[in-house]
Amino acid sequence: MVPVVLIAALIYIYPTIHMVVNNAKEPTIWPYKQINLGLDLQGGMHLVLEVQTEIAVEGHIERITQDLRSLLRKNRIKNMGVAREQKDKIRVTVSSEEVDAFNELLDKEFRDLTVSSTSESGVTVFELSILKREADYIKKMAAEQALETIRNRIDEFGVSEPDIRLQGENRILIQLPGISDTKRAKKLIGRTALLEFRLVDDVHDVNAALKGNVPPGSEILYQINEDPDTGRIRKTPYLIRKRTPLTGADLTDARVQINSQYNEPYVSMDFSRKGGRIFERITGENVNKQLAIVLDNTIYSAPNIKQKISGGKAIIEGNFTTEEARDLAIVLRAGALPAPVNIIEERTVGPSLGHDSISKGLLSMFIGGIFVLLFMFIYYRGAGLVADLALILNIVLIAGGLAGFGATLTLPGIAGIILTIGMAVDANVLIFERIREEMAIGKTPRAAVNAGYDRASLTILDANVTTLIAALVLFQFGTGPVKGFAVTLTLGILSSLFTALILSRVIFDYFLVVRKVRTLSI
């Protein structure tokens, strides 16, 4: 058992040793990964985002508004308009003779809305709003969905061991160790990525709309093109209908492909079965009209529909670089954020600080280890050498555990290893003192060793199990530096128990049983 554990540890730490010795970025001859370093050791990016959850509530109100308009038309309820009032209220004006029909519609379709009404001059004005608990739930879900969406984007971006978690009600903490292209990472993380397919308003004049005569139900959006030769930006205005018949929520896949004719990348999209049917219906009903592909209120393209498109596929072209097309495909696959996010805190940690921390941490570990090794050798002599060997192998096991479990080594984690060095010999001290007591009453070395291990083992287990419980609690509920400390402390306790109770016992048994040593240097 002991050789198997030691060989496994050496196998897992070999890639780290190989990379340090050869100053390589990636191991080329080994299937396992090196030990991951945290943000404080290898540098990277620290961000705190604030999710604008109020906008998620406004979006929910807007969807209710659109549903109301559709249902009023469908049920032929006479009304003088449905409009949002303030940010969280809907104002509906119906003729007095339709009040009962409208109330019936509300009871059937919108039971969760609070309703107040006033009547005047043959019309009744209803004011609708959502309950506070519903608004709070929407905000909570928006923050949680934003967290998962950002985590999916970062996972596809390829950052090793990112730390992504909620802070408070609407903030997200992000730590990206080893990231170098911070500008690209921020753009990928903070992009809302709301994809919409909307028809171009070909009935009204876009020039008249630019002068302020925007027709109801439409808005002005721009297609932005950059001249690759001059770098000049050209903005083309379009008059786009506000109604969104199809969104990116119906996408199942998005990937980068290359246009063989122009050798330019574009993004190919696949819709779900439902989305494919909607896309087929839209294109079939609007042949010879333009369909704008809108991402975050910016038009990427507005192709003319030549025929009904079936098969549930579409493309986005926009003079992309390969990197831009890849990032766009990532955000489309991960899904849109439920609400925009703002970067309220940003720090970039340089790798030089991490190298300095590693050097000082390793130096302190080396000096502390030397002192412990010398003390054990001077005080316990030959048995002290056994404890020293166990201590060295203890550090090897911790490193192997970090690599094997894919854990991240942080600066507090190095502190945990240094603490483990001091704690690792505690068990040996207890055992050796028990052995001395047994030898003092005249027992043979073999009998003294057996008695020493038997009588000290329970005490050692009690002491280490209580510390292990505390370490596991720190790991479960701690964050950031505390969690990094808990990881190495937990691995250190487990490896200390193994080396003290099993490995050192095997060494003693080898000399006393196999080599039949008659005296014990302790």
Output the CA torsion sign for 226, 232, 238, 244.
Answer: positive
Domain membership flag for residue 108: yes
Q: Are residues 325 and 360 part of one domain? A: no
Domain membership flag for residue 185: no
> Does residue 12 contact residue 403 with C-beta atoms inside 8 Å?
yes
Q: Are residues 60 and 12 part of one domain? A: no
Q: Spell out where 414-486 has E strands.
A: none
What residue type is 473 in one-letter code?
A: V
* pLDDT reading at 511 higher than 80: yes
* CATH number where 363 lies: 1.20.1640.10
Domain membership flag for residue 321: yes
Three-state DSSP class for residue 173? strand
Residue 258 exposure: Cα atoms within 13 Å on the Cβ side: 5
Three-state DSSP class for residue 236? strand
pLDDT over 90 percentage in the chain: 27
Q: What is the pLDDT of residue 23?
A: 62
Q: Spell out where 101-170 has E strands.
A: 113-120, 123-130, 163-167
Q: What is the pLDDT of residue 30?
A: 56
Q: Are residues 323 and 444 part of one domain? A: no
How many Å apart are CA 168 and CA 390, to the nearest integer? Answer: 45
Tokens of 87: 């940010």
What's the pLDDT band for 228 if we cut at 50, 70, 90?
Answer: low
Three-state DSSP class for residue 317? coil
Domain membership flag for residue 202: yes
Tell me the residue range of the domain where 501 lies: 2-42+350-514
How many Å apart are CA 42 and CA 26, to the nearest integer? Answer: 15
Q: What is the pLDDT of residue 366?
A: 85
| 324-336 residue pLDDT tens | 889 989 988 888 8
How many Å apart are CA 8 and CA 396, to the nearest integer? Answer: 10
The most confident of the ranges 146-150, 162-166, 408-412 is: 146-150
* CATH number where 195 lies: 3.30.1360.200
Domain membership flag for residue 267: yes
Q: Are residues 291 and 410 part of one domain? A: no
Find the helix packing angle between 53-74 and 99-109, rounded to 10°. 130
Q: Are residues 66 and 7 part of one domain? A: no
| 407-452 residue pLDDT tens | 778 888 888 888 887 777 888 888 999 999 988 888 888 899 999 8
Q: Are residues 61 and 25 part of one domain? A: no
Q: Are residues 228 and 201 part of one domain? A: yes
What's the pLDDT band for 305 if we cut at 50, 70, 90?
Answer: very high
Q: Are residues 319 and 202 part of one domain? A: yes
Q: Are residues 426 and 297 part of one domain? A: no
Q: Are residues 79 and 33 part of one domain? A: no
Q: Within a 10 A sphere around the Cβ of 199, how many other Cβ atoms?
A: 20
Using the 3D structure, point to which of 95, 114, 130 is the last residue of a domain.
130
Domain membership flag for residue 340: no
Q: What is the pLDDT of residue 109?
A: 87
Using the 3D structure, point to which of 307, 335, 363 is the last residue of a domain.
335
Domain membership flag for residue 156: no
Q: Are residues 478 and 354 part of one domain? A: yes
Output the CA torsion sign for 327, 329, 333, 336.
Answer: positive
Domain membership flag for residue 178: no
Q: Are residues 114 and 227 part of one domain? A: no
How many Å apart are CA 374 and CA 421, to the nearest integer? Answer: 13
Tokens of 318: 């926009």
Q: What does DSSP say about strands 123-130 and 113-120: parallel, antiparallel, or unpaired?
A: antiparallel
Q: What is the pLDDT of residue 218?
A: 93
Q: What is the pLDDT of residue 480?
A: 66
* pLDDT reading at 100 higher than 80: yes
The total domain count for the chain is 3
Using the 3D structure, point to which of 272, 304, 335 is the last residue of a domain.
335
What residue type is 432 in one-letter code?
A: F
- The rounded mean pLDDT for the chain is 86
